[in-house]
Copies of this chain bind each other. A is one copy, B any other.
């Protein structure tokens, strides 16, 4: 089985390739622009994206939408995480949380696949906290300010360890379960 990961984010492509390696699913990375809708949930964005790509003639592909949902900011930046990362960056998010005690946050990931015309969806999440300062140069996006253990950021731990606890790792594991059921 072969899936095209459609993303413009090189960091995500690397994580998908690593995660699917042991699942007997070979993964290629292609970058095709498609419209993402403005919606309150990642699931709505991904479902609309799968439909849009299928309407353009794509098949056997996988897309992903992820976001950082910060408790004390009403879920901000949520589904608009990549725009906020581009404009405010990690420094802006740290400024918004300056002096805030509640630093709880959740990374969420939703993946959607087309498998021979059928839609398969899966989600994963990862609870953690926002650090006081950015740290580390691994990963991408908000990784340098997010921690699961309260000490090391997602940008400071090895990718294999990150994938074993991360939202995207969880979503991929759930997706693999769905795909196994389907191919059985």
Contacts and interface: CB of A to CB of B under 8 A. Distances in A.
Given A37-B36, A37-B38, A48-B35, A73 B95 contact: no
A84 interface: yes
Overall SS of chain A's interface: helix
A69 to B, nearest CB: 10
Interface residue tally on A, bucketed by range: 20 to 34
Nearest to A36: B38
Interface string A90-115: 00100110100000000000000000
Nearest to A76: B87
Interface string A66-89: 000000011110111001101110
A98 B95 contact: yes
Contact of A88 (B37, B73, B79): B73
Contacts of A96: 88, 92, 95-96
A93 B116 CA distance: 46
A53 to B, nearest CB: 14
Contacts of A83: 38, 76, 78-80
Nearest to A92: B96
A92 to B, nearest CB: 6
Interface centre among A74, A76, A83, A88 (most CB of B within 10 A): A83
A122 B80 CA distance: 26
9 contacts: A35-B39, A37-B37, A37-B38, A38-B45, A73-B87, A73-B88, A78-B87, A79-B83, A80-B80
Closest 3 A/B residue pairs (Cβ): A76-B87, A74-B87, A36-B38
